[in-house]
Amino acid sequence: MWRSARTFVLIAIMVMAGSLCGGMVQALVIPAGGPQLSAQAAVLIDARNADLLYEKNAFLQRDPASTTKIMTALLVIEHGHLNKIVTVSRRSDNTLGSSLHIHANHRYTRLDLLRGMLLRSGNDASVALAESEAGTMERFVAEMNRKAQELGAFNTSYENTHGLTRSGHYSSAYDLALITRSALRLPVFREIVRSQQMDITEVSRHRTHTIRNTNQLLYGFLGADGVKTGTTDAAGHCLVASATRDHRQLIAVVLNSGRRWSDAGRLLEWGFTATKTLKAVSPLQTIVHRKVMRTRKPDLAIGIESHQALWVDVGVHDSITKYVRVPKTLDAPIYRNSAIGWVTVESPIQPPVRAALYPDRTVRPRFHPKRWWPHLGASLDTGECLQPGAD
């Protein structure tokens, strides 16, 4: 859509399943003046509804480095039992790369290992967690890959729990944003990744030390509340970042960035100032009224399901348009849990969003004696007694 007062750039995005094949096409219109980034790939999404606000090579498969650990943490937290004591194996102790400096036969709770993995980016902690959950890292990695498919992260494949470079280990900026959005729904994950520092304790020796978060945005960017850094020679400097302002949380991903802190900060700042989220439809909100034929209470309220709201992202100066498709008149019976139409919301910068519409109650047809008179006469002729409402 072109407007004289405000220019928009139309970007056609192919969401790929696998490597550059298949998938669905999604149109995204980015307000002019989007941030210029040094990152080779980047994406910005709204955490509430996963609306795509900005993208740069967001669907290309790339080395994710230690942002891999977001998926590791997601699975560990979902499995629970975070107070369980884990004995560090020799394999964990010998893991290369960034380290929490845990040693074989030392003992930590899963929660403390999570803290060390997410704040200090301990590769050794990620292996210890995987072994405590699945017995071996390889079995845990298989679970990571199943979870990625479940979340729709189709350009992601894992070979380890920590992100050290290995053939067949890759993700994309968009997939990392989806995975992070799911992880941020978990209170334990949110609490850890927003913390500047935490204490962890080696259980056997009762030794406690403090670790600091490697995410520098937490120390100065307004509203920053996560998430994870990553660095390898193959991946370059990577960052998955989140920030919340006025109850709106955005997730930014920058991969292979020359200036990851400023790239992520610029992307988040742009998202908060150039776009906004509107509640298009509220739970329990009546969208339309319709007349129902053959019933004692003909007026029927119709809206979306009571447990959800419909949120849409738009440019800061834009508005939305709603279209409702429901028959002009309805015939009973009508059932509360059966959709009878839909509402479509159009935004200048997002693909249309559609939600099913439901009646606010079940409506049964009114009983008309005249309609039953022929059946009643037939039943008298045969000596049968036909109850109202029977077939």
Closest Cα partner for 124 from 200, 53, 195, 184? Answer: 200
C-alpha atoms less than 13 angstroms from C-alpha of 134 in its C-beta half-sphere: 16
Does residue 190 have a pLDDT over 60?
A: yes
- Cα(84)–Cα(48) distance, integer angstroms: 32
Mean pLDDT over residues 283-299, rounded? Answer: 85
- Cα(374)–Cα(391) distance, integer angstroms: 13
Does residue 91 have a pLDDT over 70?
A: yes
- Cα(108)–Cα(223) distance, integer angstroms: 31
For the question of whether the overall pTM of this predicted structure is more than 0.95, the answer is: no
Looking at domain 282-391, its CATH superfamily turns out to be D-Ala-D-Ala carboxypeptidase, C-terminal domain (2.60.410.10)
User: Distances in Å between the alpha carbon of 277 and those of 116, 131, 261, 309?
Assistant: 34, 41, 25, 12
Active site residue 291: no
DSSP assignment of 322-362: EEEE--SEEES-B-TTS--EEEEEEETTEEEEEEEEEESS-
Query: pLDDT of 210-223, one tens digit each?
Result: 999 999 999 999 99
Q: Report the mean per-residue pLDDT for the chain.
A: 86
Mean pLDDT over residues 312-334, rounded? Answer: 89
Q: What is the pLDDT of residue 297?
A: 82
Domains 65-278 and 282-391 share a fold: no
Closest Cα partner for 311 from 271, 358, 270, 350? Answer: 350
Which one from 56, 66, 92, 242 is the annotated catalytic residue? 66
With cut-offs at 50, 70 and 90, classify the pLDDT of residue 304. confident
Active site residue 69: yes
- The 10 Å Cβ neighbour count of residue 221 is 17
Q: What is the pLDDT of residue 187?
A: 98
In the chain, domain spans:
65-278, 282-391
Amino acid identity of 65?
A
Mean pLDDT over residues 325-329, rounded? Answer: 90
- Cα(43)–Cα(267) distance, integer angstroms: 8
Which one from 69, 98, 182, 242 is the annotated catalytic residue? 69
- Cα(87)–Cα(132) distance, integer angstroms: 8
Closest Cα partner for 259 from 66, 53, 55, 36? Answer: 36
Alpha carbon dihedral 138, 141, 145, 148, in 10-degree steps, equals 180
Mean pLDDT over residues 126-148, rounded? Answer: 96
Does residue 194 have a pLDDT over 50?
A: yes
Q: What is the pLDDT of residue 28?
A: 55
- Tell me if 298 sits within 8 A of 272, measured CB to CB: no
Read off φ and ψ for residue 246, nearest 5 degrees: 50, 45
Read off φ and ψ for residue 205, nearest 5 degrees: -100, 0
| N-term to C-term CA, the chain | 57
Does residue 200 have a pLDDT over 90?
A: yes
Mean pLDDT over residues 295-319, rounded? Answer: 85
CATH class of 65-278: alpha beta
Q: Is 241 helix (H, G, I), strand (E, B) or coil?
A: strand
Residues 6+ apart with CB under 8 A from 139: none
Query: pLDDT of 5-44, one tens digit each?
Result: 333 333 333 333 333 333 333 445 555 567 899 999 999 9
Active site residue 66: yes
Does residue 347 have a pLDDT over 70?
A: yes
Mean pLDDT over residues 175-201, rounded? Answer: 98
Which one from 92, 121, 157, 242 is the annotated catalytic residue? 121
- Cα(273)–Cα(293) distance, integer angstroms: 50
- Tell me if 161 sits within 8 A of 127, measured CB to CB: yes
Q: What is the pLDDT of residue 306?
A: 67
Q: Tell me the sheet residues that pair with 171.
A: 62
